[in-house]
Structure 1
Amino acid sequence: MTDFTKLAGELDGPLFLPGDPGYAAESFTFHLTHPLTPMAVAGAASTADVQAAVRFAAANNLPVAVRGGGHLQTHRASDALLITLDRMSGVTVDADRRTARVTGAARWQAVIDASAAAGLAPLSGSSVTVGAIGYVLGGGQGPILGRLHGYASDHVRSFDIVTADGESRTVDAGHEPDLFAALRGGKGNFGVVTAMEIDLFPVATVYGGGLYFSGHDIREVLHAWRDWEATLPDEATTSFAVQWLPPFEQLPPPLRGANVVHVRFAYVGSAEAGAALVAPMRAVAPAIIDTVAEVPFPVAAVLHNDPTEPAPAIHRCVGLGSLPDAALDKLIELTGPESPLRLVSVEVRALGGALDVAPAGPDSVPSRGLPFHLIGLQIAPPPDVAAQSANLEFLIGSMRPWADVRRMVNFVGPEEALNAAELRELYGPELYDRLLTVKAKYDPTSMFRKNHTIRAL
């Protein structure tokens, strides 16, 4: 048994052991299907706390897991020391430089609010409750600004990171550029990222929202969407989700228990031009609900209506190299009114635009150039996990004829994230080997192996 007494005395923040009051709350994660049960939890209150925890783990041959707000942790971590970063969370905006310094487990909502006060916006994701740093470490494809400006990781100026030797480093394009490149898409393989500086953009309002169509109109809507999205400029971003919604009272009455197609749309430009762009989709079928309008960026940031409460959810994803009629027909069969699967959400995101353009310096985003990305999500309480996992596997397997090996790392399921062969295929041999080299340099004992783990086959 590891004696954590010495570590407790070195921390400014608290240390929790199993059975302690507060242990469960400190270990809590959003995805209830994958709870964390670490040997101990260090509630870091400072970078010095992170360093002390990492050095203790090294001295005791313990793996380290990090809970930084989501898009990072995938393993129960029962044999690990968990470091939580909530007490270090903060956002500081420099309006003149159009940058934000984001620390700890700060969620996107905090970054969005701080930026909006200066008339600026970040390259945030579809969920404002996700930790910003964990999202950026996986590249980060935004539902509003992504096609116009690229992946969020393209616009990181620097990272602060505590590596496996317990050293705190500030890395950027000119300082330890190999580690900087690996962090921009390589997830949490290389240390505990405690802060980052990111670019912001002068966007105050967006013409965006959602069009909800009845599932009975799915064939017309999906075929029209495929043809329509190909005509959009880079200032516009779109996706759709075919959803079997639960009969929750918090949903608007037309959506409770309904099978719907939710078409999301965002345009950075005038309301008049945005309305003209979305008009073809509005004409396809009568919308049950239409929320597309000119709104402040913080309102547009939640246009996907992602869940804000924890749930026992499971998911799988696949990149799609194309969406011919046959692929759409198969998707309609799998998700529409006659589907036996009844998955909560099957989403397809149209990528392209600046997401296809590599940044000036090297990075590690593996999905550049991918046209479409599909994510399947299902609610699965413990008794239903096996059956619902099989349904998700059936969905992904059925779409394999149109699959691309590239995928967005942030949506890789927990089981796949711990599978080195899956990750090597996803990143491609050349990029994966480069990440392995950086891993060997900065984390030679693979202390950080409880997430999307880069390791030799």
Structure 2
Amino acid sequence: MTIVETRTDLSTPKAPFHELDRRTTGRVACPGDADYDALVSPWNLAVPVRPAAVVAAHTAQDVVEAVRFASRYGMHITPQATGHGPIADLVTELLVVTKGLDECVIHPEGWARVGAGVKWLRVVEAAAPYGLAPLSGSITDVGIVGYTTGGGLGPMARTYGLAIDMVRAIEVVTGDGVLRRATPTEHPELFFALRGAKGMLGIVTAIEFDLVHQPTFYGGSLWFDGSDAATVIERWRHWSDQLPELGTTSIALFQLPAMPDVPPALAGRLTLSVRYVWTGDAAEGERRFAEIRESAPVVLDDVAQKPYTAIDSVHTDPLDPMPVYEAAEVLSEFPAKAVDALLAMTGPDSGSPQVLVEVRQMGGAFARGGRHESAFCSRDAAYSLLVVGIAGTPGGEPHAAAILDAMAPWTGGQRLPNFTFTPEEYADAYDEATLARLRKTIRTYDPLGVMAIGRVLAH
């Protein structure tokens, strides 16, 4: 599969950005302008995002003007909200920052409409008074649109599925510069593609999705010393195999530094976190989790009945921007031999430089899919594997690659779109039938190949 190259010389293309500035209500900035760095800065500080120009969109019409401008001057364009998942090779020409599209409306009967700049936290807090909750991510600080268009794997996935399974409508400026509303009946191929293909077709301006009735949950994170990792993971494997769909769980090996937000009991040592969300009766959830609590001495126990507004306590992801590298795969199985291979690379006495090594269990509603088919192709994955380290750590990235190599015997299926970190990996997130549909849809809605992300699927 051929990956179309993008231009990286910021002296080209020479487009009259002052013209775009006149046609938009938002700010247009170029390298050297006072607010350029603040506008383009992504959450991941290790990714050098340096486009030829950036547009801070305030309205959907600003996005229309930006896409038409890019088309007129032969440029590639990329959207960014929070910047949690930027790929530097795809952000070289015109960047559209959608933070200013901040509409957020909760309908008490059970659905929401939000602009492309809204993060999950606003929806979580606004829906809570009605006993409602969205299928938010592992941290509510991420943007809704990027997370959802990549599938949206959250801490209640086995109960309710993915965020894309709840989508009712998407408003998007496609690569041909037209603002469209995609639903199961309006532009159905576009609706299919937008749900799983991230920003390949256009720049989303607003999204509507169903909420679930989930005022509380039983869950959180239970921490063990790293020396007990083998015992606990073996117990977790067998326990999670019998876990009903009301439960979603994952494990993570952490090496956290001593920082103000890190509990002293977890700092400066290898620990194992068992994450758990039970969406049913709290007493039953506690009873089922007892087997994990009894598997080894507990270092820290934060598993309890909580309001959904405390959902970030499950995965304990960092809030502040950080310079990180990431590597990921999906696993077809996670047998005892796979555990041994993983712990040999990342367990006690391994010398692992990684901050986080996570394995999430899939299945349940995640595997079944929603009412409407989508471009998401990873439903058959049994587990996901994610490795995160601090950029610049000596040997860190080669070691992360070696972890994936060690897990290769159990790797299988398409990548998760939200866990792709290079242009080449995007194509590996889709099977051949879906690739064919995406290419056809791209030719229909972005015939000139304006969207940078969509160009990774070109022949």
Q: Structure 1 residues 378, 347: closer, same or farther in 2, change over 3 A?
A: same
What residue is the counterpart of 2:230 in the other structure?
219
- 1:18-97 pair list within 5 angstroms: 18-70=31-83, 72-75=85-88, 79-96=92-109
1:431 aligns with 2:434: yes
* Matching residue within 388, 398, 420 for 1:390: 398
* Matching residue within 120, 127, 132 for 2:132: 120
Structure 1 residue 73 displacement after superposition? 2.9
What residue is the counterpart of 1:456 in the other structure?
458
Structure 1 residue 6 displacement after superposition? 1.1
1:247 aligns with 2:255: no
The aligned amino acid for 2:81 is: G
What residue is the counterpart of 2:327 in the other structure?
316
1:76-128 Cα distance to aligned partner (Å, 9 max, x none): 556411111111123100012x1000102111111111111221000011021
1:180 aligns with 2:183: no
Unmatched runs of 5 consecutive residues or more in structure 1: none
The aligned amino acid for 1:160 is: E
1:250-285 Cα distance to aligned partner (Å, 9 max, x none): 311111111000000010122211110100000000
- 1:141-152 pair list within 5 angstroms: 141-143=153-155, 145-152=156-163
1:283 aligns with 2:294: yes
1:412 aligns with 2:420: yes
Unmatched runs of 5 consecutive residues or more in structure 2: 1-13
* Residue range with higher mean Cα deviation, 76-85 or 111-120: 76-85
- TM-score, normalising length from structure 2? 0.94
What residue is the counterpart of 1:169 in the other structure?
180
The aligned amino acid for 1:279 is: A
- 1:320-331 pair list within 5 angstroms: 320-331=331-342
1:353-379 Cα distance to aligned partner (Å, 9 max, x none): 001113232211111021100001001
* Residue range with higher mean Cα deviation, 205-214 or 12-21: 12-21
Q: Structure 1 residues 438, 452: closer, same or farther in 2, change over 3 A?
A: closer
Decide whether the 8 Å contact of 2:44 with 2:85 is kept in 1: no
The aligned amino acid for 2:117 is: A
1:373 aligns with 2:375: no
Decide whether the 8 Å contact of 2:415 with 2:428 is kept in 1: no
Q: CA RMSD in A?
A: 1.4
Q: Secondary structure at the match of 2:314?
A: coil
What residue is the counterpart of 1:140 in the other structure?
152
What residue is the counterpart of 1:300 in the other structure?
311
Structure 1 residue 432 displacement after superposition? 1.2
1:237 aligns with 2:248: yes
Structure 1 residue 159 displacement after superposition? 0.2
What residue is the counterpart of 1:207 in the other structure?
218
Percent identical = 35
What residue is the counterpart of 1:15 in the other structure?
28
1:338 aligns with 2:362: no
What residue is the counterpart of 1:104 in the other structure?
116
Distance 2:77 2:454 in 1: 13
Distance 1:295 1:131 in 2: 23
How many aligned residue pairs are there?
A: 446
1:141-168 Cα distance to aligned partner (Å, 9 max, x none): 111x211111110110000000122111
Distance 1:453 1:378 in 2: 29
- TM-score, normalising length from structure 1? 0.95
